[in-house]
Structure 1
Amino acid sequence: YVHFSQSPKCLSVDGTAKLTDAVIQQIEYSSRSELEPARQLLRRLRRRDIYTMVFEAPLLPGTDLTSVDITSQHLVGTYATLRTEGPAVAIPNADPQPTFDHLPEQLDPSTIIIQFLTLDYGKGEQNPVNFVHFFTDSHSVDSYTIDRKEVSMLAPSIFIDKHIRVYSCSSDPSVCTAISIASIYYLQRFLRTLPSALPDSTNYPHLPHSFHTRFSTPKRPRGG
Structure 2
Amino acid sequence: MSRILGVLGGMGPAATVAFLARVQALTPAEGDADHIRVVMDLNPQVPDRNVRPGEAEEELGRMAARLAAAGAHVIAMPCNTAHGQAAAIRAVCAAQGLKFIDMITATADAAAASGARRIGVLATPGGERLYQAVLAARGVEAVLLDGADRETFMGLVYGVKRGDVGETARAGMRGLARALADAGAKALIAGCTEVPLLLRAEEAAAPLTDSADVLARACVEACL
* Pairwise TM-score range, normalised by the shorter structure: under 0.3
Provide TM-score, normalisation by structure 1: 0.26
Provide TM-score, normalisation by structure 2: 0.26
More helix per residue: 1 or 2? 2
